[in-house]
Amino acid sequence: MFQYHGQYEIHQYRHADLVRRAAHARLVRAALRARRAERLAARWSAAGAGSDPGRLRRHRFARAA
C-alpha cells in the first residue's frame, strides 16, 4: 500500500510538471506571435499606404517545365 502511495505522488508531480511546461510553451508561442505581428505592422507602416513592403512572392517549389 505504501508503494502505491509513492507512485501516486510521482504521478501527481509529473502531471503538474507537464501542465507547467505546456503553459510555458503557450506563453512562448504567444510572445513569438506578438513579435512577428509587431514586425509585420512596422514593415507595413514604413512602406507607406500604397505599396507592398513584402518581398516578391514566389512559389515555394519550382514548377515543372
The pLDDT tens digits for 15-65 are: 999 999 999 999 999 999 999 999 999 988 887 655 555 555 667 777 776
In a 13 Å sphere around the CA of 35, the CA atoms on its Cβ side amount to 6
pTM over 0.85: no
Q: What is the CA radius of gyration of the chain?
A: 24
Position 1 pLDDT exceeds 50: no
Contact 43, 54 (CB under 8 A): yes
pLDDT at 10 over 80: yes
Question: How long is the chain?
Answer: 65
* Band (2; pLDDT cuts 50, 70, 90): low
